[in-house]
Amino acid sequence: MKKKYFVHESSYVEKGAEVGAGTHVWYFCHIRKGARVGKNCNIGQNVFIDDGAVIGDDVKIQNNVSVYNGVSVAGGAFLGPSCVFTNVKNPRSRHPKNKEEFSKISVGEGATVGANATIVCGNDIGRHAFVGAGAVVTKDVPDYAVVVGNPARHAGWACECGGKLVFGSKKLARCAACGLSYKEAGGCIEKTK
């Protein structure tokens, strides 16, 4: 049976890995058995996807990213070049018990993790959030939030399209790029109809 996805000859997809139709796996990648990769994904050069990792549909993973067991990436997310997901808060090479301390990470629908950003395990990235290049995430990132720096700090809000949102005195914002509207309540924002 012909595969409904593309894998470059230099890459290895283990038997038992799930890869969705329309996905492209480029140079020097390794996808382990038990990994799940959705439809229409683009997996860049030198990407490792571990057993137990889950990648949704339409995800773009740039070069040199390792997605470890316990990481889930929702549909439409973007993982920038060389971003890092940790999986143990107290890693030690001579203490195998630490493997029992794996902490999960979820990246929300449509979120962006910038180049060279580090996501410390046990922290989640909200829907359509934007983690700036080089940021070190040490706590959860709310939906639509923009975070930058080390440690990552809140620097603003982003629309689903990626445009900057500016809230007025009535705690309302309209994206200048696409026209979607949002309201702010209690430090969180949500899209309005």
Residue 107 contacts residue 90 (beta carbons within 8 Å): no
Residue 57 contacts residue 38 (beta carbons within 8 Å): yes
Q: Over 80: is that where the pLDDT of 193 sits? A: no
* DSSP symbol at 5: S
* DSSP symbol at 64: S
Q: Residue 159 — very low, low, confident or very high, per pLDDT cuts 50/70/90? A: very high
Task: Pick left, alpha or beta for residue 110 (phi over 0 → left; psi -120 to 50 → alpha; otherwise beta).
Answer: left
**What's the mean per-residue pLDDT of the chain?**
94
Backbone phi and psi for residue 42, each to the nearest 5 degrees, phi listed first: -125, 110
Amino acid at 46: N
48-49 and 24-25 beta bridge pairing: unpaired
Going from N- to C-terminal start, the domains of the chain cover 6-163
- C-alpha span between 108 and 48 (Å, rounded): 20
pTM, two decimals, is 0.94
The larger pLDDT score, comparing residue 107 to residue 185, is at 107
| pLDDT score for 20 | 98
Rg of the chain over Cα atoms, rounded to whole angstroms, equals 18
Residue 65 contacts residue 50 (beta carbons within 8 Å): no
Q: What is the architecture, at CATH level 2, of domain 6-163?
A: 3 Solenoid (2.160)
| pLDDT score for 137 | 98
Q: Over 70: is that where the pLDDT of 97 sits? A: no
| pLDDT score for 98 | 61
| pLDDT score for 186 | 86
Of 12-26, 95-109, 178-192, the one with minimum mean pLDDT is: 95-109
